[in-house]
């Protein structure tokens, strides 16, 4: 399967992103709980981009491990302001917008792999993988 | 775009029933919350029953709306019950780290109405049977559709 890119700029794009992720996850063979986990991660990370970086994109890639295990990789990237203190941002309850501070740490709990690369002025790139 | 217009708010006795049948964008969520609160004020309903059985995902934004509605309704002396949360959605919410604080959750609409009546003491009316059967569809500004 090919990878899909979705531009993220507004509320509606967040809905499209999570719907697309659910569809892809179902096609790969993820059961309903994992579809819901992945759709929720997409919703949280896509919203962070729209909210903090104004725009960016999600790339969804069906993937296969060296051992032949199937999975879904999602990449969320933007050229926004970046995150000054990534460790703090990954902590439950940390928010610069009076949010609940659950988006980043909660998303990490919903996937098998979570990588964040961000620095002030360089934007943010988050890659997650969930294996079947 | 204001998709909240598509989500009906029904008045059943002294309870507002909100069947959410479609994935909502954030603006729709905010709009729906405002409409529920203004209908509560206008109708003096004592309970809010939000049916999310068709929702395949509840993220932090929707979770927060549910908690906010419950706490604001409480101030207006109304109780909030969330009905039909799917198991996958409930598990994901816990993993995400969200508790729907102040929100009672039940499996189906009958249980929700029973909870509002019995536990929360929302009294029945004499013409009850008839009344529960008669749904008043509240439109965008509370006019009957
Ligand atoms: N793409 C991004 N660009 C810049 N800053 C970001 C980005 N994503 C997250 N952040 C920063 O990290 C913080 C934590 O994000 P997280 O999603 O965990 O919580 P939140 O968005 O503040 O609240 P919630 O998601 O619970 O409503 C944010 O408040 C914001 O400062
Ligand atoms: Mg967030």
Enter the pTM of the model: 0.91
Start-end of H helices in A10-77: 11-28, 32-48
Q: Which residues contact A2 (CB under 8 A, 6 or more apart)?
A: none
Tell me what pLDDT residue B134 has.
Answer: 45
Helix H or strand E segment including A78? strand A70-78
Order of all β-strands in the sheet with A123-131: A4-8, A56-64, A70-78, A123-131, A113-119
B145 found inside a domain: no
- CATH number, domain containing residue A91: 3.30.565.10
How much is the mean pLDDT over chain B? Answer: 83
Tell me what pLDDT residue B13 has.
Answer: 87
The count of structural domains within chain B is: 1
Q: Which residues of chain B have pLDDT under 70?
A: 1-5, 123-145
- Residue A7, φ and ψ in degrees, nearest 5: -75, 140
B113 found inside a domain: no
B33 found inside a domain: yes
Residue A88, domain extent: 4-131
The count of structural domains within chain A is: 1
| A chain contacts of residue B91, beta-carbon cutoff 8 Å | 33, 36
Average pLDDT over residues A24-42: 98
Q: Which two tokens stand for residue B103?
A: 């929100």
Quick check: ipTM above 0.90? yes
B95 found inside a domain: yes
Pocket residues: Cβ below 6 A from ligand 1: A 44, 48-49, 52-53, 78, 80-83, 89, 94-97, 99-104, 124; B 60
- In this complex, do A109 and B97 lie within 8 Å of one another by their Cβ atoms? yes
Strand partners, B106: B83
If pLDDT is split at 50, 70 and 90, which confidence band does A60 have? very high
């Amino acid at each position: 399967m090919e990878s899909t890119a979705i531009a993220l700029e507004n509320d509606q794009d967040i809905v499209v992103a999570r719907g697309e992720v659910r569809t892809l996850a179902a096609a790969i063979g993820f059961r309903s709980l994992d579809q819901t986990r992945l759709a929720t991660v997409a919703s949280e990370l896509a919203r962070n981009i729209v909210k903090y970086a104004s725009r960016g994109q999600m790339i969804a890639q069906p993937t296969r491990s060296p051992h032949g295990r199937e999975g879904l990789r999602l990449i969320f990237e933007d050229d926004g302001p970046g995150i000054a203190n990534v460790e703090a941002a990954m902590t439950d309850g940390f928010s610069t917008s009076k949010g609940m501070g659950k988006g980043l740490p909660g998303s990490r709990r919903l996937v098998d792999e979570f990588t964040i690369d961000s620095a002030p002025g360089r934007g943010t790139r988050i890659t997650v993988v969930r294996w079947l | 775009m204001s998709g909240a217009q598509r989500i009906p708010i029904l008045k059943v006795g002294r309870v507002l029933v909100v069947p959410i049948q479609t994935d909502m964008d954030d603006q729709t969520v905010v709009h729906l919350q405002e409409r529920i609160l203004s209908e509560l004020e206008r109708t003096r309903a004592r309970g809010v029953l939000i049916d999310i059985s068709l929702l395949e995902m509840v993220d932090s934004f929707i979770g927060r709306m549910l908690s906010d509605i419950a706490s604001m309704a409480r101030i207006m002396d109304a109780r909030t019950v969330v009905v039909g949360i799917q198991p996958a959605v409930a598990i994901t919410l816990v993993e995400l780290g969200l508790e729907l604080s102040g929100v009672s959750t039940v499996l189906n609409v009958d249980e929700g109405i029973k909870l509002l009546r019995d536990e929360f003491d929302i009294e029945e009316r004499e013409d009850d049977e008839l009344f529960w059967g008669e749904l008043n569809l509240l439109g965008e500004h509370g006019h009957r559709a």
